[in-house]
Chains A and B, each alone.
Chain A
Amino acid sequence: MKMNENWIPIGRLDDIPRQGARVVVTSAGDIAVFRTADDEVFALADRCPHKGGPLSQGIVHGKRVACPLHDWKINLDTGLAAAPDEGCAARYPVRVADGQVSLSLMPEQGCPGR
């Protein structure tokens, strides 16, 4: 973990539907914040590595989201497209404390591209 993370509160956990996502609008583009069935929270750039589909609109299952445009499956914890597809959505650090969700706008390392 980097030390200079700048946590920004974005809303309550309950504002995000289970097995769903909400969008954080930023000047650098939308970020999708996902909540899984067992309340884990992940954040990815809201752009599918395939053709830029809005991942926030996909169906969340397990730790994955199915892109609404052409049904690629993107792993929420790594941002990587599930085989056989290849590609990666940028990950953002996100944390939940006392029901409050906070996000860092500094993408994690390890995802080539953006």
Chain B
Amino acid sequence: MDMSVPRASGPRLKLVVVGNGMAGMRTLEELLKAAPGLYDVTVFGDEPHPNYNRIMLSPVLAGEQTIEQIVLNSRDWYAENGITLFAGKKVVKIDRRARCVEADDGTRAPYDRLLLATGSKPFILPVPGADLPGVIGFRDIADVDVMIRAASQYRHAVVIGGGLLGLEAANGLKLRGMDVTVVHIGAWLLERQLDEPAARLLQKSLEEKGLRFLLQTHTAELVRADTGRVGAVKFKDGGTIPADLVVMAVGIRPNTELAESAGLHCHRGVVVNDTMQTFDPRIYAVGECVNHRGVAYGLVAPLFEQAKVCANHLAEHGVARYQGSMTSTKLKVTGIDLFSAGDFAGAEGTETLVFSDAAAGSYKKLVLKDNRLVGACLYGDTLDGAWYFDLLREGTDVSQFRKTLLFGQHHVGDSGHGPAERVAALPDTAEICGCNGVKKGDIVGAICSKKLFTLDEVRAHTKASASCGSCTGLVEALLAHTVGGDYSAAPSKKPLCGCTDHSHDEVRAAIVAQQLKTLPEVMRHLDWKTADGCSKCRPALNYYLLCAWPTEYRDDAQSRYINERAHGNIQKDGTFSVVPRMWGGLTNPKELRAIADVAEKFKVPEMKVTGGQRIDLFGVKKEDLPAMWADLSAAGFVSGHAYGKALRTVKTCVGSQWCRFGTQDSTGLGVKLEKMTWGSWMPHKFKLAVSGCPRNCAEATIKDFGVVCVDSGYELHVGGNGGIKVRVTDLLCKVETEAEVLEYCAAFTQLYREEAHYLERTAPWVERVGLAHVKAKVVVDAANRKALAERFRISQQTAQIDPWKARAEGEARHEFTPITALV
């Protein structure tokens, strides 16, 4: 067959889409991303609306949302993307030879490629009276309009079908004030999703909402009232109930009418292969109208996967394959949490774990086969649904935690955390939004990298929670966990200071992206409003530049606070304090003697042992600093940076050298850590500690980076803070060797250096970006960890030059001497 089509250089290809619904428009969105401008696109839609979120018709019916809120692609979207939309026109003919479609009003459109996305139709029971006014399906906006109007005029509604759709219709009509009876042929509700005990719990809570149920009841006839409208439903057993409105929700049938009329092979759907092509290679099909490997899906998640694959082929990338989907379902009735996935009926060779607390309205059933989860049905508490679904799809061997499997993920290996921590504990691969196949890692990644603060932003960027919305709670918990605190009170962007409109993050990003390497360059490029900044932005910019370009940037002393310019801590009387570094708090007689000599020689008025395990010399005159440093330097001391936004101290305990409880050489490790990190400039001060056992004498769990030694290795803790607001560290991870401690420490330090705002300590930073983010960058992604550690190592090459020695040798002499003395 001749498949040659005009290339991009010639006239553009013509793509015609039949069906302006969820699968078709998702395919177009994916296509526009993959190959913008490849096609002239024309869309035909039977409904007079732009594409809307059909899933949300249930909340619209329930009065929880409006039609305007559920529009997915506004008319502007079609216009902006150059798409011709024929809304309200039904395609009635495909001329495959002429490659042209024709609508019911005669509109014709030629195509090079054609996409069928005609969805499905509600199945209407073939009983007498099924065509009466007042008998409808539940499929589109028109149906919802009919239901809302009926609810305002009539009293009795009957919903035929106790599946997901039927229950959502019944719930909505009830909320609209009607008397609702659900007629169901099965022995219990949702028999395709739930087992009997769970269904009973569900039925009970729906009855409490005022719904009535007739189970195992067969409809025989819909009886016409005098008005000409439907008036009653008659059953096979002879009973009759009044009905002013009958909603048929007994199933859907793929809408293949058009495809069949064009001679395309159809069998319970338009048959497609793994590239979403029909038997005519120019014609693709996606969505509910499709039969793929014998399955016609009725949920959006698989359809969106199909859309992606189809777009890949329309874009002529030609690599994607659709291989079928595993689906899970939830019920969108407010106040009712229900989740089911896989095969929960418990076939042969399976074992069943059941947890049931009828009083609390909670039921869980897990079906295992060969120690792998094959089915799950949750009612009441569904927070772990995503986790189970993950285990199910991955085929994870659960024998290790089988005993606690029923109690959910938060019981595996960890305890004592609140519910918000449960989403935090999910692996990055856990699927949060089933509709759009969005994984936890995608959401967290987008939140972090795109600085998302609101549910709407997350929806816009990841599509998570943008479809049926039943994962909204999970997404919100993730937001709260990732951005911390009150995520919805989206801080409108906060400028770094009054000299600019840009935020810290924007400035940092611009420095790297635009290769800005000096302060004046930054200010010029970012339109600083003042000529040379202020005491707030200049130190921040100086730090950002030196962090971004460690080997190139020439530090701007005039943009440093006096302590860092003079390398001492300024005191209330203008004198300075001197704190030499004592590695890990270790000292010896020679060092102590040298410090004593210096103190006497320079008449130091006061000495003190600091809270950081070293000695402070107070009240030193600025002019004396270089000479004093010369002596200290000669005795082997370097600056302790007790004055800087820098690595301060590494506090250690006695450890295994001497202590009867010590498990590892905490002192030795502390010294190694200090040798690695000293001299580094930071967004704020940075403190380390190493304790030799969980008694934690070095207080490692309130440090920026703390190590608690245990028999089997080292626990690494991060984000702790003493000081103004005490914050206990979060456990980052556990490692086994000293080498790992050093690598993780370097990586964590560098991540903080690269990401925190100037003057933000690790505690607020971790709370802002979320521990999950830190773990992802430092623990999970080993390559990233190594890259971070390597960047830290490189920046240390230029940072570990003792500022005291340099100044003792004459650097920045002007800083320490008056320009002139007129006395």
Contact = CB atoms under 8 A, between A and B. Distances in A.
Contact of A27 (B534, B535, B560, B823): B823
Given A61-B530, A61-B538, A68 B819 contact: no
Interface stretch (B331-339, B362-370, B566-574): B566-574
A79 interface: no
A26 B535 CA distance: 28
Interface in B786-823: 814, 818-823
A11 B574 contact: no
A30 to B, nearest CB: 8
A45 B520 CA distance: 30
Nearest to B576: A57
A111 interface: no
A61 B498 CA distance: 13
Contact of B822 (A22, A25, A37, A62): A25
B558 interface: yes
Given A19-B558, A57-B574, A25 B818 contact: yes
Interface string B532-570: 111100110000000000000000011111100110001
A24 B388 CA distance: 74
Given A57-B566, A61-B534, A62-B532, A11 B820 contact: yes
Chain B interface size, as a band, is: 20 to 34
B3 interface: no
Contacts of A20: 557-558
Contact of B535 (A8, A25, A59, A105): A59
Interface in A38-81: 38, 51, 53-54, 57-62, 64, 66, 68-69, 71, 73
Interface in A11-35: 11, 15-20, 22-27, 30, 33
Nearest to A30: B818
B562 A57 contact: yes
B538 A59 contact: yes
Contacts of A19: 532, 558-559
B539 A22 contact: no
Contacts of A54: 570, 574
A10 interface: yes
A31 to B, nearest CB: 9
A27 B511 CA distance: 47
A37 B531 contact: yes
Contact of B820 (A24, A51, A57): A24
Contacts of A66: 534-535
B820 A10 contact: yes
Contacts of A22: 814, 818-819
A100 B173 CA distance: 90
Contacts of A18: 558
A15 B813 CA distance: 11
A106 to B, nearest CB: 13
Nearest to B574: A54
Contacts of B814: 15-17, 22
Contacts of A8: 822
A69 to B, nearest CB: 7
Contacts of B823: 25-27
Nearest to A14: B814
Nearest to A68: B562
Contact of B819 (A11, A53, A60, A64): A11
A66 B814 CA distance: 20
A26 B532 CA distance: 31
A25 B820 contact: yes
Given A18-B558, A54-B574, A68-B562, A62 B819 contact: no
A66 B539 CA distance: 12
Contacts of A23: 818-819
A101 B142 CA distance: 86
21 contacts: A10-B820, A11-B819, A11-B820, A16-B819, A17-B558, A20-B557, A22-B814, A23-B818, A24-B819, A25-B821, A25-B823, A27-B822, A38-B531, A54-B570, A59-B559, A59-B562, A61-B533, A62-B530, A64-B534, A66-B534, A69-B570
Given A57-B562, A61-B534, 16 more contacts: A8-B822, A10-B822, A16-B819, A17-B557, A18-B558, A19-B532, A22-B814, A22-B818, A24-B819, A58-B535, A58-B562, A59-B538, A59-B559, A61-B532, A62-B532, A73-B535
Interface of B: 530-535, 538-539, 557-562, 565-566, 570, 572, 574, 814, 818-823
